[in-house]
Amino acid sequence: MDEINRRRLLGLAAGAAAPYGLFVARDDGVIPPEDALDHIDTRIGQITAAYERTPIEVTAVYLRRHLPVVRAALADGGHRAVVERRLHRAVGRLCALWATTRHDLGDDPGAAKAYLDAFEHAGQAQDRSLQAWVRLWQSSLARKGGRLDTALQLARDAAAQVGDHSPAAARAAAIEARVLGAMGERAGVHLAINRAWHIEGLLTREQKGAPGFSIDTLNALTLAELSSAAYIELGQTDAARVYTEASIRQLDLVGATGLQSMARIAAATAELHHGDVDRAETLVTESLDISARRPNAVVSRRTHRFLAEAHRRVGRRPATEAIAARLDTWRPPVGQADRRHGADPPAPKATGPRRTG
């Protein structure tokens, strides 16, 4: 049997997919060289790719450990312009990931604050893809808060940050469609969804990437989930059903946890509207099974919304009561962030950059 050290053991115990060691250990205290910056970028890419398969608290703890280190390296100053820009890019992306953990733990105010920080660093780095991505999360927060005009403007501002044929532009069109759905703008939803899929059809294989959480790519299965959410928002469950039926099986094959759960809730809402309550309840139960190891506020919030609709349409049933009881056992519940480690990563000290292994 291979030797298992403490770090690997703790990783196995936590089920952690996030990589360790954002910085290569150094003793000379110099400004991070190109190879260290490459290492940081690689680690950020790995954290991002693993996000949906890693418990949110594990990602949050990892970010709390490393974000202050990269911030300290940036605050130390005296960097060449290219190094300064790359450090801003790294801090911006780590802040964006931190913001997403806040959002997924139900801490919307903490998420909003961190997204502002991420957007500022993205601007310093000229990271247009990240700027667009942050604007879309800000749009989603505004929509959930009932500020639909602001949400629409933020979605359109996201599209303005990037080229017309980029993954971010397609995502922005889909998010715009969801806001328009909440506004009841039927024609606008159709036009925005058509625009999103037109752009998706022009993307390269590299731009499409893998289904699931991503800043720089947009897979067709991810876009299918975003499309179904827009039509659910509009109340056009027939259109939503097209996207969920086409994508659920494929999502199960690739194992994109968040998308698997959300697609099932969208499908359940469509089945509920078509009178198949048993099938709807089964789909929601499957959604909770899939996300049981990684409970999050997004799935919880959408499930509560499904339950409210189910109670309105068919009253209380044993299966919906069981779903509601199960949601009560989830940690964290909606609206309550995990604050065991504080709301924000600690600010860097005034001393030089600290290296971690």
Q: What are phi and psi of 337, to 5 degrees?
A: -75, 160
Residue with tokens 């936590």: 14
Report whether 86 contacts 124 (CB < 8 A).
no
The rounded distance, in Å, linking the Cα atoms of 259 and 265 is 10
Contact predicate 199/165, CB 8 Å: yes
Spell out the long-range contacts of 45-51 with Cβ–Cβ below 8 A and sequence spacing 24 or more.
46/18, 46/19, 47/18, 47/19, 47/97, 48/93, 48/97, 48/213, 48/214, 48/215, 49/210, 49/213, 49/214, 50/17, 50/18, 50/19, 51/97, 51/100, 51/212, 51/213
pLDDT averages per 10-residue partition of the chain, 357 residues: 37 39 48 75 93 92 92 87 94 98 95 98 97 98 97 97 93 98 98 97 95 95 96 95 90 88 96 96 96 93 96 95 93 47 49 36
Q: What is the CA radius of gyration of the chain?
A: 21
- 176-208: burial string, b at 16+ Cβ within 10 Å, e else: bbbbbbbbebeebbbebbebbbebbeebeeebb
Task: Return the pLDDT at 35.
Answer: 77
Give the model's pLDDT for residue 80.
86
Q: State residue 7's pLDDT score.
A: 43
Side chain identity at 243, as an amino acid letter? Y
CA 312 to chain centroid, in Å, comes to 30
The burial class, CB within 10 Å (0-12 / 13-18 / 19+), for 216 is: middle
For the chain, domains (ranges, CATH) are 1-126 (no CATH), 128-235 (1.25.40), 256-331 (no CATH)
In whole angstroms, what is the distance from residue 158 CA to residue 161 CA?
5
pLDDT the model gives residue 76: 84
The per-residue pLDDT for 67 is 93
Residue 26 half-sphere exposure toward CB, CA atoms < 13 A: 16
User: Does residue 19 have a cis peptide bond before it, meaning omega lies within 30 degrees of 0?
Assistant: no
Quote the pTM value: 0.84
